[in-house]
Amino acid sequence: MSVRVHRVYDPPGPDDGVRVLVDRLWPRGVAKDAAHVDEWPKGLTPSTELRRWYHADEGSYEAFAERYEAELAAPEAVELLDHVRELAREGDVTLLTASKSPEESHAAVLLRLLDGA
């Protein structure tokens, strides 16, 4: 069992396991049936305000990650994060994002939190 991050634009792989979209907005140009998304926990995504702040280049990735982790302390996010942890205990999980740089996105923060649990 493992957790990994892939871009939602990449084709699904045979070892993806449960595919979890971790973006608040549906990715442009991707048909829902082609994405093979099993779960879409919008409450686990960064707030609109945080997302806009980060994409406007107003702060560093480290500052974004810190603010995002603070948002993930909210009860709904904690519950959803625990759910994804449980999925990972049962098998493979692939976190899907439309981010051009998944290694400097909220998906990387989620991956780090899930790997550390």
What does pTM read for this prediction? 0.92
Averaged pLDDT score across all residues of the chain: 93
DSSP assignments along the chain, one per residue: --EEEEETTSPP-TT--EEEE--SSPPTT--HHHHT-SB--GGGSPPHHHHHHHHTT-S-HHHHHHHHHHHTTSHHHHHHHHHHHHHHHHS-EEEEE--S-GGGSHHHHHHHHHHT-
Would the pLDDT of 45 be above 90? yes
pLDDT exceeds 80 at position 117: no
Task: Break the chain into its structural domains and give their ranges.
Answer: 3-115
Asked if pLDDT for residue 24 goes beyond 80, the answer is yes
Q: Is the pLDDT of residue 82 over 60?
A: yes
pLDDT greater than 90 at residue 17: yes
| pLDDT value for 116 | 65
